[in-house]
Structure 1
C-alpha cells in the first residue's frame, strides 16, 4: 500500500536523511543569542529544502524552541493574506501586524518562523524585508526556504549584513548520494551508477531508487541526464501505479496546480470524485494540504509534458474542464480564498507572456521599494536624463505633490537605477489630473467611459531606467512585476490600468497579448516627443475575470455572450435584444455583478433605489417579476431565496 510523502517524511525523516552536515551546522547558528536573525535557504526544486526544515524543526523543538511553519504556496501574496495566515498559525484572534508581532515576542525565548516555498512570495518580498522583519522582536528568527537566491537588497541595507545569513543547498556528493540510495534499498553497484547519473539530486535519487527496482535505467543518455531522469522516472512511476483508475486520475490531475474533489469531478464526471481523490492522496509523490492535494512538481511537470506530447486532445480537454469549474467556483469564492483561484487559473495559462508577467522564472536582480525624500536627487537625475524640461517638470510636480506614489528600483549594489509613478483614481484630486496633459487624457477617457461605483483605475504615469529610459529593460520588468502586486491588492475593484510611453511599439507584442488598447488620438507632445497612452480594461469581473478570458482564448473556449449588455442597457437573448427600464437595468446589473451570490432585498433597495426603507421591499419583487417575463426561457436563472432575496445563476 502506498504511503503519502508527508507520512514518509514525518515517520522516517531522521532515518532517511543523509548528508547536509555543513548546512545543518550553519542553521544551528539560529539557536545562539548572537546568531543570525534572518536565514535564507535556497536551492532548486527537489533538492531537499523541506527535509532540512523538518530536521531543524525537530532539533529546535527538542531544544525548547517554538517552531511556526507557513507554506507560501497556499497564502495570498499580499500583506493581508500573510498576516491572516500567521494569525491562524499562532492564534491571537486579530490579524493586526502589531498584535501578531507582540504575540510572537511572548511565545518563548526562541521562536523560529519558517516560510517554505518562499519563491512564490516574491510579490511581497519588499514589504517583508522593510516592514515586517524589521519589527520582529529579538527572540524571533525568520527562515526563508526558496528555490531562488535572496535579493541583494537583504544584504545591502545598512546594519543588516551581520543579521542575515545564506545557506545554499547544492546536490549531494557522490558518497552522500550512494548513502541515500542505500537507505532506500539499493545495492552498491546500482547505487554507484544512479549517483553518477543523477548528479546527486535528492528527489531524483529517491524516484530512481523506487523505479529502478523493476527497470533497467543504465541505457539513459549521459547528456542532460538530470532532466531525462526526472521525465523517465516519472513515467515509470505512472506505470507502477497498478490501479488503472488511479493511473488515469493522476494523468488528468497533472494539469492542475492543486487538486480538489470538485475539480476531479469536473475532469472525470463518470467517476466518484471522493474515491478518485482518496486514490490520488495515497500516492507517494502527492502531499495533502489544507485546501487540496499537491502533486510533486518534478512528477507533475514531466507527466504533463508526456501527456501533452502523446495525447494533446485529452490534455486540452482536461484543461478546458478545469477552466469551466474554476470559473464557477471563483464567482462565489470568499475574499480570503480568491487568491487560490487566481493562482489556479494562472496555472492553466501556458502563454509565456502572461505566466512571466506574474511569476517570472528568472532570478530577479532588482528590488522595487517606496521612494523616500533622500532619493530625490537620484530620482530627479534619472527623470532629467531622459525627459525634456517640460516633461520633467510635470513628473517632478507629481513627486512634490504625492511622493508616496513613487517607487524606486535598486540594483544589486543598492544604487537607484530606475523609478516609476503610479496613481489611484480614488485617491487623487481631479484638478491634479487635469493639470498634467498626459493624465488629463486619461481623465477625459474616464469621463467618456465612467467607472461604476466601487471600481478603481490605476494610472502608471511613468517608468524610467537610468540607462534605457522607458524602453524594455530589466528595470522595466521589475516595475511591471511590482504592478502585478497592485493588481492583486486592488482586485476585485480594479477595473482599468492606464499607462504612457514614448515608444509603445516596443511593447506591442506583449501589450496585445495582455489586452492593452492604444488610445488613438490621445497622444501628447512634450519637448518634441510624443507620449502615447494605452489602457487595459479588465472588465466587470476585474483581474480574475480578465485571467479567465485569457485562459478561455488560449484553450479555444467560446464563451456565451453576456446576458446583460451594459452599454445598450439591454438583455441579450437568443431571440434578440430586449430593452430594460432604468430600475430593471439597475437590478439586473447588480445581480450580474454578484452572479452566484445571494443578494438581499435591502441591498437592492440601497444600491438601486438609493434607500434603506425596508417596508418598500415589495417594489423589488415587482421589478424582479417583470425582469423574469423579459428573460423568457432564462427566467429560472433569477432564483428566489426564501427569507433572503435573490441570486442569479
Structure 2
C-alpha cells in the first residue's frame, strides 16, 4: 500500500498532535478566498504553536499553496534584515520591498507567509503593520506565531477589522491532556497527577510522560504549580540523557542563547567541539537552525537557574568563556551576522535594566510610529500643555522644519498619547542646531569632543506623554524601546546619544547603569525651567562594543586598560603619559580600533596619510619604529606580519 508524498507529510505533522479543533478551524480559514489576510497566533512557551504551524503548512501545501516559513530568531529585527531573509527564502536577491512583494505575487494563487517566534520582532512590528503588510498582493496571507498577544492597534486601524484575526493558543483541556499522555504511553490511572501538575501545558505533559515512564516508582505531588513541574521534569529529562559527557555539555550550554561549535569549544576546551555539537543536536529538546542550536526554553531556563543556585562559580565561568568568544568572533562578523552576536551578548547580560531595554517581557500597550501631518493638532496640544512658550516654540519649530524626525505614541484606541523628536547628526542642518539652545549645546560638545568621520550622533531632543510630561511612564518606555531600534539600525556607525529632560533625575539610576553621563555645567534655562543634558558614548565599537562592556562589568571581567587617550592624543603607560605626533597618533588610533586584526601598510597609508601611493610604505615603517620606542615595555604589542603589515595585540 503506497501513499502520496503529501499524505505522508500531513500524517507526520499530525503525529503526537491532539485537540486544537477550534484553532485549526480558524487557521484553515486563512486559505479561503474570503478569509482573513493577517492572523496572529499567540501563546506561552511550549504551548503548541509550532505544532499548529506544522499542520497549517502541511495542509496549505496539500491545497496547492506556496508556504514560506521564517524563524524570527535568526533574522536581524530591522527592515534590511527582514527583507534580506525573505529574499533568500523566495529565491530572489532583490533588496527592495517592492521587488520582493512583486515576487510574492508571482509565486502562485495562494502564498502563506508564516513568521515563527515573532515575539523577538517587536522592534519591527510598526514597520510590518504600516508598510510591508499593506503592500502584500491579494494572493498572500501572513500568519504571525508569537508568545505575546498582538498589539490592539492591529485591529483598530481603519478597514482592517475583517482582515485581521487573532488565535490564542490555550492549555489543553483535561480530556485532551489525557489523550496526549495516552499517545506517550501513560495510562489513565497514572495520568491524573501529571495533568494537574502541568495544567494542560503540552510540553510539560510530554516531559512528564517521559520522566514518568523512566521513574514509574516516583510519587508525584498532588498540589504543584506549572513552573515547579517544568523545573522538576526538566531535571529528570536531563538525568535521562544517555552519557555523562552530554549531560555535562547541556548544563553549560544553557547559559547560551544559541549553541555553536566555536562556543562549545570555548566552554569545553577539553572536548572535540564538532562531536559535542552533534551530541547536543540529537537531544529531543534541542532544535537545529542554520546558525546554531536552540535549547527549548522550558528545559534551558530551569536548568540554568538550577546551575546558578547549585554551582554559581561554574555558572559564571561558562558565561565568561562565552563572552570572550563572542567578543572575538563579533570583531570579524559580516554585517548580516552582526545581529546574532548582538543578541547573543544581550542574553549574557542578566541586568534587567539592559535586558528589558531591548527585549521587554511585558506586552506593550502602546505603539510608536512616524508622525503624519494629520497629527499636528495632537502634537501641538501635548507640547504646549507641558512646555512653556519659549520651549514650546523651539520644539514646534523642529516639527515644522523636520516632521520626519517626530514619532507619535498611540494607545489601544488609536489616540495620540505621546511624542518624541529624534534628530540624526548626519541629516540635520548645523544652522538649525545652532538656532536651538539645547541642540546648540550638543553641537558645541561635539566640536569639543569630535567623532570620527562616518560616525553618527542621535539627538533625542524631547519626549512627552500627554499625562506625565517627560517623567517615567508607559509612554516613555515605549519611546525608549523604539529608540533601541534606531540603535540597531545605525550600528556600527552610531557613536553617541544626547538627550534632555526636565525630570532627568528620575532616570538617574537607569541612565547610570546604561552608561549615560550627565553633562555638568551644560544646562539650558527655558521659561524659568532647567533643561539638563546627558550623553551616552558607545565608543569606537558602537552599540556592540557598548554591550560587550556592560556584559564584562556584570561578569566581573577586567578589560585591558586603555592604551590610547584619544582626546589627549597620548599613550597611557604604567610609566606615565607619552605625547604623540599627529602621524603617530593616526597610526596608533587605527591599530587600536582594529586591535587583534591584521592591518596592511596600504590601509594605513589610505586612512592616515590619505594616499594610495605604494612606494611610500616605508614612511609607515618609520612611524611604527617611533611608536615602539615610545611604547617602551609594551613595544612588542605591535607585531610585524611579514608581507602584510602590522597587528596590535
Taking structure 1 as the reference length, the TM-score comes to 0.96
| Residue in 1 that maps onto 2:5 | none
Counterpart-to-counterpart distance in 2, 1:142 and 1:601: 52
Identify if the C-alpha distance between structure 1 residues 236 and 479 changes in structure 2 by more than 3 Å, giving closer, same or farther.
same
Residue aligned with 1:427, SS:
coil
| Residue in 2 that maps onto 1:355 | 355
| Residue in 2 that maps onto 1:171 | 171
| Structure 2: gaps (5+ residues) | 1-8
Residues 286-327 of structure 1, C-alpha deviations (whole Å, 9 max, x = no match): 111111111001100000000011111111111111111111
Counterpart-to-counterpart distance in 2, 1:102 and 1:598: 43
Check whether the contact 2:10–2:59 (CA below 8 A) recurs between aligned residues: no
Residues 71-109 of structure 1, C-alpha deviations (whole Å, 9 max, x = no match): 000111011111111111111122221111111111111
Shift of 1:384: 0.6
Aligned residues between the structures: 640
| Residue in 1 that maps onto 2:478 | 478
| Residue in 2 that maps onto 1:152 | 152
Shift of 1:647: 3.9
Counterpart-to-counterpart distance in 1, 2:11 and 2:403: 54
Residue aligned with 2:422, SS:
strand
Identify if the C-alpha distance between structure 1 residues 26 and 325 changes in structure 2 by more than 3 Å, giving closer, same or farther.
same
Check whether the contact 2:196–2:223 (CA below 8 A) recurs between aligned residues: no
User: Which runs of structure 2 are paired with 1:79-478 in the superposition (5 Å)?
Assistant: 79-215=79-215, 218-220=219-221, 222-223=223-224, 225-478=225-478
Counterpart-to-counterpart distance in 2, 1:259 and 1:625: 43
Identify if the C-alpha distance between structure 1 residues 297 and 10 changes in structure 2 by more than 3 Å, giving closer, same or farther.
farther
Residues 118-139 of structure 1, C-alpha deviations (whole Å, 9 max, x = no match): 0000000001111111111111
Counterpart-to-counterpart distance in 1, 2:491 and 2:444: 23
Check whether the contact 1:332–1:596 (CA below 8 A) recurs between aligned residues: no
Check whether the contact 2:592–2:648 (CA below 8 A) recurs between aligned residues: yes
Identify if the C-alpha distance between structure 1 residues 635 and 106 changes in structure 2 by more than 3 Å, giving closer, same or farther.
farther
| Residue in 2 that maps onto 1:3 | none
Counterpart-to-counterpart distance in 2, 1:361 and 1:331: 29
| Residue in 2 that maps onto 1:551 | 551
| Residue in 2 that maps onto 1:4 | none
Check whether the contact 1:307–1:315 (CA below 8 A) recurs between aligned residues: yes
Counterpart-to-counterpart distance in 1, 2:161 and 2:643: 62
Counterpart-to-counterpart distance in 2, 1:114 and 1:626: 60
Residues 352-395 of structure 1, C-alpha deviations (whole Å, 9 max, x = no match): 11111111110100000000000000110000111111111110
Counterpart-to-counterpart distance in 1, 2:132 and 2:595: 37
Residue aligned with 2:559, SS:
coil
Counterpart-to-counterpart distance in 1, 2:98 and 2:263: 38
Counterpart-to-counterpart distance in 1, 2:639 and 2:50: 48
Check whether the contact 1:596–1:647 (CA below 8 A) recurs between aligned residues: yes
| Residue in 2 that maps onto 1:6 | none
Residue aligned with 2:213, SS:
coil
Taking structure 2 as the reference length, the TM-score comes to 0.96
Residues 205-225 of structure 1, C-alpha deviations (whole Å, 9 max, x = no match): 1111101112356433625x1
Identify if the C-alpha distance between structure 1 residues 54 and 633 changes in structure 2 by more than 3 Å, giving closer, same or farther.
farther
Counterpart-to-counterpart distance in 2, 1:177 and 1:638: 65
| Residue in 2 that maps onto 1:531 | 531
Residues 397-439 of structure 1, C-alpha deviations (whole Å, 9 max, x = no match): 0000000000000000000000000001111111111111111
| Structure 1: gaps (5+ residues) | 1-8
Shift of 1:18: 0.8
Counterpart-to-counterpart distance in 2, 1:123 and 1:476: 15
Counterpart-to-counterpart distance in 2, 1:116 and 1:289: 13
Pick 1 or 2: higher relative contact order, CA cutoff 8 A, min separation 6.
1
Counterpart-to-counterpart distance in 2, 1:370 and 1:106: 31
Shift of 1:12: 4.3
Check whether the contact 2:496–2:538 (CA below 8 A) recurs between aligned residues: yes
| Residue in 2 that maps onto 1:562 | 562
Residue aligned with 2:325, SS:
helix
Counterpart-to-counterpart distance in 1, 2:334 and 2:637: 22
Residue aligned with 2:420, SS:
strand
With 368-377 and 447-456 compared, the bigger mean Cα shift is at 447-456
| Residue in 2 that maps onto 1:14 | 14
Check whether the contact 2:193–2:221 (CA below 8 A) recurs between aligned residues: no
Check whether the contact 1:598–1:647 (CA below 8 A) recurs between aligned residues: yes
Counterpart-to-counterpart distance in 2, 1:263 and 1:627: 36
Counterpart-to-counterpart distance in 2, 1:133 and 1:353: 32
